[in-house]
Every structure is written in structure tokens, then in C-alpha cells.
Structure 1
Amino acid sequence: MVADGLRVLFCGINPGLMTAATGHHFARPGNRFWPVLHLSGFTPRLLKPAEQGELLSYGLGITNVVGRATARADELSAAEYVEGGQLLSAKVTRLRPRWLAVVGVTAYRAAFGDRTAGVGPQERVIGETRVWVLPNPSGLNAHWTAATMAEEFARLRAAADGEEVTAGLSP
């Protein structure tokens, strides 16, 4: 679900088994991506995973770092993350979104070899695309609530809309 010149290209870690079965990103019940996307103001209403095609009309898209489906992201190898980071960089260079939003700091660190990265805007750029790391919306990520995730997503939305962004948040 990508296109040229998006405002934000969201990048999940890899498809979960529910996503692989349905073909819809962040499809597992309990994943907070879709509610947080709405709460942060990216979408005017709460979308269901099956409605992911509507994202393009808002200048948004979704992809993954690694294409292989697993039950849990910790089943992926370091080599898969590195290769995924290289493929993602090539995709971003080709599509030129304004922002790449990697959903999950651990995935970003592994894919791009940046062990000190935190949530928020990064120094890294890919071509002219800025990079932002967002908290992982998986229900397993209990450090972040839907409300605190929505605040961080909203900071990215403001930046994507050209607004000034305030200092980072932490859970």
C-alpha cells in the first residue's frame, strides 16, 4: 500500500500471522495502530484494517521492514532486519515520501544499525525523506498507552503538515 510522494509512509516491523492471513496491515485484534492513527488526527475516523486502502487518500501508506510473516517479531534474524533496511531505503528513495515512520524502535535500530536511536525524529535522511521512529502499537508493548502513542503520532502528523514540533515524549 504505497504510492509516490506520500506525506508519511508508515513502516511496520513485519506481517504478523493475522496480517498474512487477511492481507491487511496491523490486523491482529489488540493492535493499537488503527485507533492511534485516528486519535492522533491522521484519519478523520477510525479505520478498520480492511479499509487500509483509504490511507492513500490522506497521503499515507504502509509497508514493512521485513516481508516474512511471523507470530512474533523476535523470530526475525539480524540479517533479515539488515536486508529489510536496505530494501526499505531503496523503496523510500524511489517513492520519495515526505516522512518515513518506522513503527518500533527496536526494528529501526536493527534495520539501520543505529543502536542509540529513540522514539522521535532521527538525524538520518533517505534521499530527501526525513525519518521518524514511533512506538510499536502491538498490545505487547505495555510501556506505551494508546494516549501516549497518539501524542507521539500527533507530533509526526504536525511535522508532516509543516507545523513546528515540540520536544519528544516518553512513556
Structure 2
Amino acid sequence: MDRLPDQLQPGLHLVFVGTAASERSAATGHYYAHPGNRFWRTLHEVGLTPRLYLPAEFPALLSLGIGFTDLCKLGAGMDHVALKAGVDVASFVKKIRQHRPATVAFTSKKAASLFYGRPTSTIALGRQPEQNDFPITFVLASPSGAASGAWTLQPWRELAEHVGRKA
């Protein structure tokens, strides 16, 4: 059973893609639920949402054209634990091609590295080179409190500017 339900529908402006649910997110059923996670504050700060949303309100973001999914749907916790449950990149790609969002944003270099099949050290933050038959893609600094040392708001701002032009 999936730890977090996909929040996808056709015509979305933006889909956030995580690696896997945190233990808190899996327990509550809400994306980015840990109080130390910057995700919800950042969405509002960069202008992707008109107000600060709470994790439990994630379904409401569909009305803003924003969806959610993860690469590892069965695991939960820190990546080194959660990813033992397996990553299904092919299933992720199929979902994205089916729903055709305008933009995909990986919420960490780790998630992007799993998708691209490359080490995290080779993944740059920000907009990625375009790929055939796949939406415009961004890689964001992880909002997780566990990744505080690598935090930067810049790729989030770049994403917000891009989505703002597309909306």
C-alpha cells in the first residue's frame, strides 16, 4: 500500500516529486508533515501559494494546479531506510506522461538522481535540460530539516517565477 496517496490530475501547472514519505508524513498521511520541514513555508514565501497551508491541507492545492507524488511509494523514513522498499521510476514516468503536468519539481537532489540514474554530485539545482515527451523539470534544494546544510531558496524562487509565467 502506498505510504502517501498521489495527488495527480490532468492539467496541473506543477507536480512536486519527493523521494519517499518521512515517518511523520506516513503516519499522518500528509506530504511534508514534519514541523522542521520548510516545504509549506517556502511555497508561501516564494509565492507559489496565496497563503501558508498546513500539511493536512495538501489536497486543496489541486485547486491551485499543484500535485504531489514520490518515487518510492512503499517506504518511509530517512532515504537510507525508505529506499529499501524500492524505487519505481518507470511507474513515475508513466503517471507523469498520463497526467501531463506543465512542470515537475524534484524536492531534492536525491529524488532527481534516482530519476536521472546519476549520482547526486552530478545533479545541479534549478531548471534541467529539456527531455522529449516530459514536462519542464526543476531540481530544488531539499526542504527537509535533515538537509539544512544544503538549503538555498534560489531554485524555489526560479521555479515560482517559471510557474508564474505559465499560470
TM-score interval for Structure 1 and Structure 2 normalised by the shorter chain? 0.7 to 0.9
Corresponding residue of 2:157 = 154
Residue of 75, 89, 92 corresponding to 1:88: 92
* TM-score after normalising by structure 1: 0.84
User: Within 5 Å, which residues of 2 pair with 1:1-171?
Assistant: 1-77=7-83, 80-81=86-87, 83=88, 85-115=89-119, 116-125=122-131, 127-145=133-151, 148-149=152-153, 151-162=154-165
* TM-score after normalising by structure 2: 0.86
Quote the RMSD (CA, aligned, Å): 1.9
Rounded to whole Å, the distance in 2 between the matches of 1:122 and 1:8 is 15
Rounded to whole Å, the distance in 2 between the matches of 1:126 and 1:106 is 22
Aligned residues: 158
Q: Compute the displacement of 1:11 (Å).
A: 0.6
Percent identity of paired positions between Structure 1 and Structure 2: 31
Q: Which segments of 5 or more consecutive residues in structure 1 lack a partner in the other structure?
A: 164-171
Change (3 A) 1:60 1:143: same
Rounded to whole Å, the distance in 2 between the matches of 1:100 and 1:23 is 22
Rounded to whole Å, the distance in 1 between the matches of 2:66 and 2:33 is 17
Following TM superposition, the consecutive aligned residue runs of length 4 or more in structure 1 with deviations greater than 3 angstroms are 76-79
Q: Compute the displacement of 1:138 (Å).
A: 0.4
Q: Which segments of 5 or more consecutive residues in structure 2 lack a partner in the other structure?
A: 1-6
> Is this contact kept in 1: 2:75–2:86, CA < 8 A?
no
